[in-house]
Structure 1
Amino acid sequence: MGSLNIENVKKSFGPVDVLKGIDLAVSDGEFVVFVGPSGCGKSTLLRVIAGLEDASSGHVIIDGNEVTSTPPAKRGIAMVFQTYALYPHLTVRNNMALGLKQAGTPAAEIEKRIAAASTMLSLEPYLERRPAELSGGQRQRVAIGRAVVREPKLFLFDEPLSNLDAALRVNTRLEIAQLHRRLKATMVYVTHDQVEAMTLADKIVVLNAGRIEQVGAPMELYNSPANVFVAGFIGSPKMNFIEGARLGESVKTIGVRPEHLTVDAKKGAWKGTVIHAEHLGADTNIYLDCEKAGLLTVRVFGVYDAEPGATLYATPDPARTYRFGEDGRAVK
């Protein structure tokens, strides 16, 4: 399909620097996810790749070809938007066919591609319907199908699941993962949801304030975060951070994930009082105010009875404890 290389890309809107020098290599067939908080630059970076925004400087290279100044339609990309962007007066079939017709693709080839995409995405029963007659999940599948029929070098997804309810997000996420495996296509996907990133990506790019904080496989980022920002962003519930001085440590910050703490009613490293417990069925999140370590979140697998006001002791797994220096970077 197509590789992607981004070389020192910067983007400014007036005096505001949104992208501050992005360098990234995406291999042919990779599924890469951009994550980060609102305003970090992830959607702007995707739009620069698509050609919907001009880079202030730097280079965008798709499949070995410099496309920094190339119009979007000639970049060999297909984009799936958060808002679906379907034509309301056209049927599903015609929404999927429109781009191919405009490109002069022969009618027989158009029908062949629509048939293949609609089978892949289970859209055959809806080909003669209009978008208003479809559910949100079906509309998003049509938007994905419209991208698939173009057979692009690069698929771009801009928060495609954010308008769907929780159950549909899970189902559509599975469909996108299966689509990637079937097509063996290069995909770049933007989301603010780190669960989507962890479950979909071959490689995650964590962005913050217009810069890349870390690039790596999902479990690499989970197990070996480069700094406090990545450690706090990857994982749910988020990592607990404790001032090193409170624990007699020379480093600035100690980090421990909720699932790497154990609790006991009689003994442990840090004595605390239960503030609140969230019973989620498969696991329980306990919020514990510890005399030594401060407010902690502890994730216990299964059902755990923890009444507010009760005393519990929390103990960290020493092999899964992280240390961060004054600059916020991980200390080996």
Structure 2
Amino acid sequence: MGSLQLKSIRKAYGTHDVLKGIDLEVKDGEFVIFVGPSGCGKSTLLRSIAGLEDVTSGAVLINGTDVTVTPPAKRGISMVFQSYALYPHLTVKDNMGLGLKQAGTAKDEIDNRVEKASSMLSLAPYLARRPAELSGGQRQRVAIGRAIVREPELFLFDEPLSNLDAALRVQTRLEIARLHRSLRATMIYVTHDQVEAMTLADKIVVMNAGAIEQIGSPMELYNRPANIFVAGFIGSPQMNFIPAEKLEQSGAKIVGIRPEHITLSREQGTWAAKVIHVEHLGADTIIYLESDQTGLLTVRLFGEHKYEPDDTVYATPDTGHMHRFDENDQAIRA
């Protein structure tokens, strides 16, 4: 479908660098997600790929062709935004086919593409409706369908699920995953939600302050974070970070352990602690502890567990899943 290469992409507003020399390669058919906190530059990077932002320096290549100064309409991309941006006076069918109509595509071809896309997205029963007659999830599917009918080289998604409620987010996320498998298309997707990133991506690009912290598969980032920032951003609840000196760990500044890699006992264990809060989530129980040896500690236990505030417990880490970080916050590899 389409490959992408970014070479030293820099975007500055005056003296303020928003993107600080981004290098990235996306292979044909990959689903790549840019993730990071608000203001890290991920949406600016996506808009630079689309041509909606002019880059200060560097090059954007799509299928090996330099499109750095090519207008957005000629880059072979389709973009789905956070807002649906549907025309309220047009039907679903007309909204989906409008871009093709404006490009002079033959009516029969437009009809064929709209029919195919609406079938993929279960929109066929709604083609005669207008946006006001649709739910939020249906409107988002129309916006995705409008992108599909253009048969682009790249699909770009800018936080497409953020306006949906929790149930619709899950449903639409599944539809996007299924769509990627069906189209075998190259997709680049921006989100601040690490759950979306972990569940959808072939490859995740973790960004922070205009730079890339790490690129890898979801489980590579989870199991082998490159630094403290990635370790703390990927995983929910967040990884526990403990000063190495408290654990007598030589050669490291910080030791990290994920909440799910700690067990609890009322009788014995590595760290004596007091329960300060418990969250009962049904499938999981999240327990917050205070320990003289570690400070604040978060533990995630699978299933329902009967702990109460002020209970005395013992926490034991799985030492095989401990992460060690040096004075520059970089991971120390064994």
Counterpart residue identity of residue 309, structure 2: P
Name the counterpart of 2:167.
167
Residue 286 of structure 2 corresponds to residue 285 of structure 1: yes
**CA drift at 1:87:** 1.0
Unaligned runs of at least 5 residues, structure 1: none
Q: Distance in 2 between matches of 1:63 and 1:141?
A: 27
Mapped pair 1:180 → 2:209: no
Partner Cα separation in structure 2 for residue 264 and residue 159 of structure 1 = 41
Amino acid at match of 2:75: R
Distance 2:100 2:266 in 1: 66
Give, in whole Å, the separation in 2 of the partners of 1:21 and 1:127: 44
The residue aligned with 2:297 is 296
SS at match of 1:220: helix
Per-residue CA deviation, residues 198-250 of structure 1 (Å, 9 max, x unaligned), is: 00000000000000000000000000000000000000001000011111223
Secondary structure of the 1:174 match is: helix
1:324 aligned residue: 325
- Alignment of 1:266 with 2:251, yes or no, is no
Deviation at 1:189, TM superposition (A): 0.2
Q: What does the per-residue CA deviation read over 1:58-98, in whole Å, with 9 as the maximum and x for residues that have no partner?
A: 00000111000000000000000000111111111111111
1:128 positional shift: 1.0
CA distance in 1, matches of 2:76, 2:245: 54
- How far apart are residue 285 of structure 1 and its match? 0.2
Which structure 1 residue ranges, 4+ long, deviate > 2 Å from structure 2? none
Question: What's the CA shift string for 1:118-172, capped at 9, x where partnerless?
Answer: 0000001111111111110000000000000000000000000000000000000
Aligned partner of 1:308 in structure 2 is 309
Partner of 2:136: 136
Aligned length: 332
CA distance in 1 between partners of 2:243 and 2:323 (Å): 12
Instruction: State how 1:1-332 maps to structure 2 within 5 Å.
Output: 1-250=1-250, 251-332=252-333
| Structure 2, unpaired ranges of 5+ | none
1:182 Cα deviation after fit: 0.2
Q: Equivalents in 2 of 1:14, 1:73: separation in Å?
A: 27
Mapped to 2, the partners of 1:73 and 1:130 lie a distance apart of 26
**CA apart distance, 1:300:** 0.4
| Offset at residue 16 of structure 1 (A) | 1.4
Aligned residue for 1:151, secondary structure, equals: coil
Q: In structure 2, the residue corresponding to 1:163 is in which secondary structure?
A: coil
User: Aligned letter for 1:314?
Assistant: A
Q: 2:88 & 2:11 partners in 1: Cα distance?
A: 34
Following TM superposition, by how much is the alpha carbon of 1:310 offset from its aligned partner in structure 2, in angstroms? 0.4
Q: Distance in 1 between the 2:126 and 2:190 partners?
A: 28
Looking at structure 1, the residues matched to 18 and 152 of structure 2 have their Cα atoms a distance apart, in angstroms, of: 28
Partner Cα distance (1:75, 1:88) in 2 = 27
For 1:45, the aligned partner's letter is L
Cα distance in 1 for residues equivalent to 2:205 and 2:321: 23
CA distance in 2, matches of 1:84, 1:66: 30
Q: Which moved more, 1:174-183 or 1:82-91?
A: 82-91
User: 1:16-60, CA deviations, whole angstroms, 9 ceiling, x for partnerless residues?
Assistant: 110000000000000000000000000000000000000000000
Query: Secondary structure of 1:24's partner?
Result: strand
Q: Distance in 2 between matches of 1:197 and 1:287?
A: 26
SS at match of 2:256: strand
Letter in 1 for 2:102: Q
How far did residue 108 of structure 1 move? 0.5
CA distance in 2, matches of 1:141, 1:286: 39
Which letter maps to 2:272? K
The residue type paired with residue 55 of structure 2 is A
Tell me the percent identity: 70
Deviation of the 1:15 alpha carbon: 2.1
CA distance in 2, matches of 1:85, 1:75: 20
Q: Report the residue type matching 1:28 in the other structure.
A: D
Instruction: Give the whole-Å Cα distance in 1 for the aligned partners of 2:59 and 2:12.
Output: 15
1:288 alignment partner, SS class: strand
**What is the letter of the counterpart of residue 281 of structure 1?**
G
Q: Deviations over 1:166-192 (max 9, x none)?
A: 000000000000000000000000000
